[in-house]
């Protein structure tokens, strides 16, 4: 089997970016054996600067450096201070941009500019970032087409739960008529605990924060914005809609009481934050789902149901968040691009 080298430029070295470095390190030899794909990360950037080596970085050293100092610029020999993502892309040889910077749902930056620059430079792109995809989906898709590059974003909607790839591959030929999903692990954890333990919202949120399941500022999760971004991306990518975050009718979970959850339980229902794309409308709101149904998932699990014309209902369940889990979705996109470019 011929071995093809694929050089990656990794922007963002938080939980997801470190997850990507970990899975590339862990799977490197296996990917060569299985796919003839030799992955090398030639640049890693975070807010401090970057580590750059066009011959490939030592990923264990990069991870150790980040753990010890918190700054990738402290990477021995090849660390660079005071450079942003756009500059890093001009300083390194690479084939595919992996964009894993923090999500910004106000204007999608700096992710959108990073992605558009890479595409303009004729580089393929993989991202986990929901921001620009939920705000300017068409702009990114059109840029990929105009520059004849591949653009993948599986990790932006379901973590390790395969949403985009399942619909595009396994449901090819089907028309997706509607989509319903529990697309946020934080809110599902909180609502599951409230149902199982009878706790109130605020102490349950605090518990989730202490466990690292909820962010210090949980606003985007608990008010439904994270799930809204994901349903926008799904509607655009899989249903051919032309919508943005502004088109979503939103209601979060912060006003859900233990009493409401327990009353639902007595009637055989659970309260879940459900995102829906149906009849031209996008909604994210708490809904009642039947106990024992596919939507009765516990903890941080996510679930999505596609209503299709040929296959009826197709349901996918998976882990919706986590460093390695999200990185696994990014890796699947990288492999997909590598295989396509080898043909």
Q: Which two tokens stand for residue 329?
A: 């979705």
Domains (range + CATH), the chain: 4-160+323-342 (3.40.50.720), 167-318 (3.30.360.10)
Segment 86-129, tens digit of pLDDT: 999 999 999 999 999 999 999 999 999 999 999 999 999 999 99
Q: Where are the alpha helices (DSSP H) in the chain?
A: 15-35, 59-69, 85-91, 111-120, 130-135, 137-146, 155-158, 164-165, 185-197, 201-210, 219-222, 225-239, 258-266, 323-342
The DSSP secondary structure of 34-68, one letter per residue, reads HH-EEEEEEEEEETTEEEE-TT---HHHHHHHHHH
CB atoms < 10 A from the CB of 194, how many? 25
- pLDDT average, residue stretch 188-199: 96
Specify the length of the chain in residues: 343
Phi-psi region of 224 (alpha: psi -120 to 50; beta: other; left: phi over 0): left
Segment 220-242, tens digit of pLDDT: 999 999 999 999 999 999 999 99
The per-residue pLDDT for 236 is: 98
Q: What percent of the chain has pLDDT over 70?
A: 100
**77 three-class SS:** coil
- pLDDT average, residue stretch 28-49: 96
pTM across the whole model:
0.95
Q: Which two tokens stand for residue 257?
A: 């009481």
Segment 278-322, tens digit of pLDDT: 999 999 999 999 999 999 999 999 999 999 999 999 999 998 778
Model confidence at 212, in pLDDT bands (50, 70, 90)? confident
Distances (CA, A) of 173 to 170, 227, 308: 9, 26, 10
Q: If you ran DSSP here, which 8-state letter would residue 222 be given?
A: H
| 237-245: long-range pairs with CB below 8 Å, 24+ | 237/137, 237/153, 237/164, 238/164, 238/167, 238/168, 238/176, 238/179, 238/306, 239/176, 239/179, 239/277, 241/277, 241/280, 242/137, 242/138, 243/282, 244/134, 244/135, 244/136, 244/137, 245/105, 245/134, 245/135
By C-alpha distance, which of 98, 92, 50, 97 is closest to 74? 50
Name the residues annotated as catalytic.
Answer: 230
**Helices 225-239 and 137-146, axial angle in degrees (round to 10):** 40
**188 three-class SS:** helix
């Amino acid at each position: 089997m011929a071995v093809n080298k694929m050089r990656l430029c990794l922007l963002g070295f938080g939980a997801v970016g470190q997850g990507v470095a970990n899975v590339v390190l862990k799977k490197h030899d296996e990917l060569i054996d299985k796919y003839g794909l030799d992955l090398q990360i030639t640049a890693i950037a975070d807010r401090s600067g970057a580590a750059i080596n066009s011959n490939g970085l030592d990923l264990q050293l990069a991870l150790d450096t980040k753990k010890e100092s918190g700054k990738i610029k402290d990477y021995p020999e090849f660390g660079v201070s005071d450079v942003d993502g756009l500059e890093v892309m001009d300083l390194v040889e690479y084939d595919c941009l992996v964009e894993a910077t923090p999500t910004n749902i106000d204007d999608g930056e700096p992710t959108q500019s990073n992605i558009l620059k890479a595409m303009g430079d004729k580089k393929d792109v993989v991202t986990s970032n929901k921001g620009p995809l939920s705000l300017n989906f068409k702009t990114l898709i059109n840029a990929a087409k105009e520059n004849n590059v591949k653009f993948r974003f599986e990790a932006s909607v379901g973590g390790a739960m395969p949403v985009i790839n399942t619909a595009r591959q396994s449901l090819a030929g089907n028309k997706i008529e509607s989509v319903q999903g529990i697309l946020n692990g934080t809110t599902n954890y909180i609502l599951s605990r409230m149902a199982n333990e009878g706790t109130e919202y605020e102490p349950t949120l605090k518990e989730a924060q202490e466990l690292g399941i909820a962010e210090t500022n949980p606003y985007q999760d608990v008010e439904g914005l994270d799930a809204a971004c994901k349903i926008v991306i799904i509607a655009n990518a899989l249903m051919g809609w032309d919508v943005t975050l502004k088109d979503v009718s939103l209601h979060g979970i912060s006003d859900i009481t233990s009493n409401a959850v327990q009353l639902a339980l007595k009637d055989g229902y659970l309260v879940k934050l459900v995102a829906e794309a149906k009849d031209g409308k996008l909604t994210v709101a708490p809904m009642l789902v039947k106990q024992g149904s596919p939507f009765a998932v516990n903890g941080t699990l996510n679930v999505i149901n596609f209503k299709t014309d040929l296959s009826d209902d197709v349901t996918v369940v998976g882990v919706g968040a986590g460093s390695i889990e999200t990185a696994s979705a990014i890796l699947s996109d990288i492999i997909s691009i590598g295989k396509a470019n080898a043909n």
